[in-house]
Chain A
């Protein structure tokens, strides 16, 4: 039975349980719902949830565990593969799965009859060609060993799925019946349903947390793997970034410092653009602008935040870079030849700064607005001008929040990729000249993992430790920013 059918059946049982539970509750109270502890719908939900939730949990668990069990079961049949060679083993196992699935597809499409499928012999029939006819492409010809493993895999999977279907349905029915029998006027079904709702919300919240943990773990394992192949001191203190993809290995120099320098340099330029402009526009919007102007200008600034960064990257590549070259490049207007090409720290920094303006201005605007009006009144009442009030009372009061906003913008700048790829170039170098091309951690992560990456070489694994470093830096910045913002919030509550 297909999974969707099973699922549909479960929902049907639940719906039936809902109505059965509801009508039983009303009947048990003698037709008067006021005699019940909870409203009749809660009794219905109680039965439906009991029929659905345990069965679904079993279904999910089974689907997660079955592939592992099946892999273990067919592994001994693949005697030609060394059990300890995990890479090859997983490749062969995925081949087995593909053949098994392919045969299933072929049967449903009628290309092979079930009887035929049961006694396929690799030496008699060209399995690869037959499967290709139904759209299943295999990388190599199917060996006898793989085919027999696939046949065994199919048989086990069939048994497993049948057992699962039956068990899930039994669990669903049993759950529903138990819940149905519990329905009595004094049964507290509302509390049970509320508990269920709480668990549902809790699980939604924990999925986000678990995903974060998963991301961190995947980074950590690969980072540890990288440091086994490449010394950590060379990574953190190396002044050169020169990965070699020759495949011989050992010749690469993977020092993070040039990348970190590029990242920080570009971020600083970006913040130097975004912070004054963003802050001043926030002050204008919250302190000086009339309602009308504010209602037009604020959304327009926030539109900037919605532009995809790749578009900013194109802007850097096609407009800002050439303009800068015409001013600072060889034969430029200013007569200095500081700039070799359109891609430079300055190009990426300026454009990234423009991208960050709405972050700084929108957050600062909220924070400045949160400063109580009584502060402004107090200052104006003493004969201070508006700008004195802003400078000496409003901004100091809002400062912690503004610092938080700037730090959040900084962590955006550090994590930004597309603008850097298009605007800053790909050369990793330690230079003070802001018109030199440089590159960042994020851009190098992309370039290390694109193309034919061998995930056991330090050249590819370095991407994970770069990512980990970036993660730690931005996490630290965010935590610090949130801590500052929270401290500030407490002041006015």
Chain B
């Protein structure tokens, strides 16, 4: 486990950004998330791991109310961001999602130019007063997503023409451009090759400077590489939630240990 460099990991516990209490999610009759309690810290990368179908993506989608778009899904419990209940009736999911950005499993650039892909969010939220400001936002977002050098000469070309790894970084740039406070990533590297994965992971580590990042991943190595906190989900339950180093070296629950050592999942 030396290559994971667990010792060097600096976990400075920041104040809590997201706190979830007694969250239950139902898909029709299927009880997908069972009584999950979790506190997610600011300026930290939190990884959700667990076998397929354990509910980690479902829980992630609760955090920006993307489950609202699925008509059969029902969420119970209490999820607060900065102490505010996001399932309160007065909260507009549209505003919430501007604050809680999301990057999806498969790169999904819009059928627009690279520039318009990144400018999409700032435009609909009115973040730029004029074209120059918008240009600046686009450039800053592309730089943060480490795509500027590759894309600066082809900003007007369609985003779908980029390679898979570039597309995913474009999607990250798109999410970053709206200046969110939390960034949710649903298996952002599962469709990428190892080199693109490394680039995205590096990016995630940089994003930690300004955001609270929550990442769902199938790869335990990836969780160990990028995250400070790790939550292990199994069959809809949050089995264990602790510092990444502890989860991977000294888990307290036998199920976590079985999963980490490859016996289940």
Contact = CB atoms under 8 A, between A and B. Distances in A.
Given A382-B97, A383-B121, A383-B125, A374 B106 contact: yes
Contact of B104 (A378, A385, A491): A378
A386 to B, nearest CB: 9
A248 interface: no
Contacts of B111: 375, 393, 396-397, 491
Sort chain A's interface into a size bin: 20 to 34
A99 to B, nearest CB: 72
A392 B120 contact: yes
Which of B95, B99, B120 has the most chain A CB atoms closer than 10 A to its own CB?
Answer: B120
Contacts of B171: 378
A383 B69 contact: no
Contact of B121 (A291, A377, A382): A382
Contact of A375 (B66, B110, B175): B110
Interface in A353-400: 372, 374-385, 388, 392-393, 396-397
A377 B124 contact: no
Contacts, number: 73
B110 A378 contact: yes
Contacts of B230: none
Nearest to B160: A491
Nearest to B69: A380
B101 interface: yes
Contacts of B110: 375, 378-379, 392-393, 396-397
A375 B120 CA distance: 13
Given A290-B71, A291-B71, A491-B160, A382 B124 contact: yes
Contacts of B112: 396
Interface in B144-198: 160, 171, 174-175, 178
Contacts of A372: 108
B66 A377 contact: yes
Sort chain B's interface into a size bin: 20 to 34
Given A374-B106, A393-B110, A397-B111, A379 B120 contact: yes
Contacts of A393: 110-111, 120
Nearest to B120: A382
Given A291-B71, A396-B112, A382 B175 contact: yes
Contact of B175 (A290, A376, A381): A381
B18 interface: no
A458 B180 CA distance: 74
Contacts of A382: 97-98, 101-102, 120-121, 124, 174-175, 178
B121 to A, nearest CB: 4
Contact of A388 (B69, B101, B124): B124
A367 to B, nearest CB: 13
A376 B120 contact: no
B228 interface: no
Query: Binding site of A, secondary structure by majority: helix, strand, loop or mixed?
Result: helix
Contacts of B96: 383
A375 B108 contact: yes
Interface in B25-64: 64
Contacts of A388: 124
B13 interface: no
B76 to A, nearest CB: 22
Contacts of A396: 110-112
Which of B96, B121, B124 has the most chain A CB atoms closer than 10 A to its own CB?
Answer: B124
A384 B104 CA distance: 16
Interface in B77-130: 94-99, 101-102, 104, 106, 108-112, 120-121, 124-125
Nearest to B171: A378
Interface string A280-291: 000000000011
A61 B99 CA distance: 77
A375 B109 CA distance: 7
A378 B108 contact: yes
B104 A380 contact: no
A381 B102 contact: yes
Contacts of B66: 377, 380-381
A392 B121 CA distance: 11
Given A382-B174, A383-B125, A397-B110, A377 B98 contact: no
Contacts of A374: 104, 106, 108
Contacts of B64: 381
Contacts of B175: 381-382
Contacts of A381: 64, 66, 97, 101-102, 104, 175
Nearest to A375: B108
A377 B108 contact: yes
Contacts of B125: 383
Interface in A65-105: none
A92 to B, nearest CB: 68
Contacts of B98: 382-383
B187 to A, nearest CB: 13
Contacts of B101: 381-382
Given A392-B120, A397-B111, A385 B69 contact: no
Contact of A383 (B71, B104, B108, B124): B124
Nearest to A381: B102
Contact of B94 (A291, A377, A385, A491): A385
A383 B160 contact: no
A294 to B, nearest CB: 11
Contacts of A378: 104, 108-110, 171, 174
A377 B104 contact: yes
Contacts of A397: 110-111
B106 A384 contact: no
A381 B108 CA distance: 11
A113 to B, nearest CB: 83
A491 B159 CA distance: 12
A291 B175 CA distance: 31
B106 A383 contact: no
Given A372-B108, A374-B106, A393-B110, A383 B120 contact: no
Interface string A393-432: 1001100000000000000000000000000000000000
Interface of B: 64, 66, 69, 71, 94-99, 101-102, 104, 106, 108-112, 120-121, 124-125, 160, 171, 174-175, 178
27 contacts: A291-B71, A374-B108, A375-B111, A377-B66, A377-B102, A377-B104, A377-B108, A378-B104, A378-B109, A380-B97, A381-B175, A382-B98, A382-B101, A382-B124, A383-B97, A383-B98, A383-B99, A384-B121, A392-B110, A392-B124, A393-B110, A393-B120, A396-B111, A397-B110, A397-B111, A491-B111, A491-B160
Given A381-B104, A384-B120, A393-B120, 11 more contacts: A375-B111, A378-B104, A379-B110, A381-B64, A382-B97, A382-B102, A382-B124, A383-B121, A383-B124, A392-B124, A396-B110
Which 3 A-B residue pairs are closest in the complex by CB-CB distance? A383-B98, A381-B102, A374-B108
